[in-house]
């Protein structure tokens, strides 16, 4: 794999950019691999990458029924933060955030990480108490955050209206080292690095069955034939229940679509990420000038990747009061993304799913923890609290303050 650099760009400019090689190889499946990763999104590719980098396991196939990064990785609001209340959440998200900081250098691929800062607005007295508590918890966790005044919120984000009649801004939890990254670039960077290690990325290859003998996985059936393997990592987001059913066990989670949209591009007016949990809306401005807006989840189980009218109306109506400047913007496009790192009842099958609103920001940390689980067969410190059996035990990780959900 040729190294990307300023010199390489200059050299290719002189020869009409005809010397660039493909970022990753398109492979046909072999008969057997040490590990099969099902799902070529950010989490699956990161898992494969850290299997190779941290444990030297490179006889790996990454199977994708569609195209690389075409699921939730390409359908999110790109926010990166680690200001969570509970220790297990803060640990894995801070690991991810710290890996994001050097990911471009690590992968030799610009993932466009932008540590512009993330603020979570307190718009009720209850939220003030919750975020102050979170700031104290973050200090003990080694995560740098602070609770700031409405005046500092206004200084950091001049376009915000802090005196709204329904949703006044009473302060915010501020994480200056949070930010955003380019979602496609994260997937492409990991894919390029995996391919360079000799791993096989096989697109348009749907898994149609999981083969087991005496409760132990021995391979998968696919639309490109049967493939044998020693271990499987299921990393398919909202379709995890479908794959689990193929393997013969049931997951205690269900899938819903999480809504988001972007506006037409405008001149730069906002260089931070703002989240408002009271109205469940969050917004940032992309490098192309679009306002990237996230909303709520559908109220019913589905696998849809379409937008939802009532969520867009509800989210935008609330955000317009806080950001009057966006009231006349036109919507450019909208979409929906389908909303556990654990061993499973089937030996040598491991699963990573259920990230809800926190999938993109977790990618490097999730891949790191999942790779450790697959390589060692047991969860490490980052993953041990996210075992699937905790649903039966009632051991939820309640992040209703920091994320509005339980993990």
What element of type H or E holds 368? helix 359-376
When pLDDT is averaged across residues 200-218 and rounded to a whole number, the result is 97
Of the given ranges (3-7, 174-178, 207-211, 217-221), which has the lowest mean pLDDT? 3-7
The whole-number pLDDT of residue 333 equals 66
The whole-number pLDDT of residue 124 equals 93
When pLDDT is averaged across residues 275-301 and rounded to a whole number, the result is 85
pLDDT, the chain, mean: 90
Q: Residue 369 in contact with residue 54, Cβ under 8 Å?
A: no
The whole-number pLDDT of residue 332 equals 76
**Hunting for tokens 């990592």 — which residue is that?**
233
Q: What percent of the residues of the chain are helix, what percent strand, and what percent coil, each to the nearest 5? A: 35, 25, 40
Inform me whether the pLDDT recorded for 238 exceeds 90. Answer: no
When pLDDT is averaged across residues 239-268 and rounded to a whole number, the result is 88
Inform me whether the pLDDT recorded for 175 exceeds 70. Answer: yes
Q: What is the separation, in whole angstroms, between the first and last Cα of the chain?
A: 39
The whole-number pLDDT of residue 339 equals 43
- What confidence tier does 109 reach under pLDDT thresholds 50, 70, 90? very high
Inform me whether the pLDDT recorded for 337 exceeds 70. Answer: no
When pLDDT is averaged across residues 199-225 and rounded to a whole number, the result is 97
Cα distances (Å, whole numbers) of residue 340 to 23, 32, 160 = 31, 27, 36
Q: Which domains does the chain have, with CATH numbers?
A: 27-78+184-253+340-406 (3.50.50.60), 118-176+255-338 (3.30.9.10)
Cα distances (Å, whole numbers) of residue 43 to 49, 284, 330, 347 = 10, 23, 32, 21
- What confidence tier does 131 reach under pLDDT thresholds 50, 70, 90? very high
Inform me whether the pLDDT recorded for 334 exceeds 70. Answer: no
When pLDDT is averaged across residues 146-152 and rounded to a whole number, the result is 97
The whole-number pLDDT of residue 221 equals 98
- pTM recorded for the entire structure: 0.93
Q: Which two tokens stand for residue 348?
A: 């040598």
């Amino acid at each position: 794999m040729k190294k990307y650099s300023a010199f390489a760009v200059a050299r290719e400019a002189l020869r009409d950019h005809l010397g660039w090689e493909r970022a990753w190889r398109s492979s046909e499946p072999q008969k057997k691999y040490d590990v099969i990763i099902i799902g070529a999104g950010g989490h699956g590719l990161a898992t494969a990458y850290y299997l190779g980098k941290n444990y030297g396991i490179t006889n790996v196939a990454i199977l994708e029924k569609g195209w690389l990064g075409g699921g939730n990785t390409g359908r999110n609001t790109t926010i990166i933060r680690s200001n969570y209340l509970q220790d297990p959440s803060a640990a894995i998200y801070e690991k991810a955030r710290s890996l994001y900081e050097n990911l471009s250098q690590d992968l030799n691929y610009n993932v466009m990480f932008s540590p512009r800062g993330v603020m979570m607005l307190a718009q009720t007295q209850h939220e003030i108490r919750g975020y102050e508590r979170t700031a104290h918890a973050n200090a003990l966790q080694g995560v740098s955050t602070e609770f700031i005044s409405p005046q500092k919120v206004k200084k950091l984000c001049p376009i915000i209206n802090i005196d709204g009649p329904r949703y006044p801004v009473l302060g915010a939890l501020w994480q200056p080292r949070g930010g955003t990254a380019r979602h496609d670039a994260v997937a492409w960077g990991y894919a390029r690095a995996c391919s360079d290690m000799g791993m096989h990325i096989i697109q348009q290859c749907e898994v149609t069955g999981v083969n087991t003998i005496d409760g132990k996985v021995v391979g998968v059936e696919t639309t490109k034939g049967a493939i044998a393997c020693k271990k499987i990592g299921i990393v398919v987001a909202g379709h995890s229940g479908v794959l689990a059913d193929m393997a013969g066990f049931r997951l205690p989670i269900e899938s819903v679509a999480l809504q988001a949209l972007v506006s037409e591009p405008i001149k730069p007016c906002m260089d931070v990420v703002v989240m408002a949990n009271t109205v469940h809306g969050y917004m940032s401005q992309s490098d192309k000038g679009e306002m990237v807006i996230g909303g709520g989840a559908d109220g019913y189980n589905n696998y849809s990747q379409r937008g939802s009218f009532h969520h867009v109306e509800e989210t935008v109506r609330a955000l317009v009061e806080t950001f009057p400047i966006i009231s006349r913007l036109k919507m450019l496009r909208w979409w929906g993304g389908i909303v556990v790192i654990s061993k499973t009842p089937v030996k040598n099958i491991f699963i990573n799913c259920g990230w809800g609103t926190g999938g993109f920001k977790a990618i490097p940390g999730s891949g790191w923890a999942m790779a450790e689980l697959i390589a060692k067969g047991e969860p490490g410190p980052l993953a041990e609290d996210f075992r699937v059996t905790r649903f039966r035990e009632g051991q939820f990780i309640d992040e209703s303050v920091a994320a509005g959900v339980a993990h």
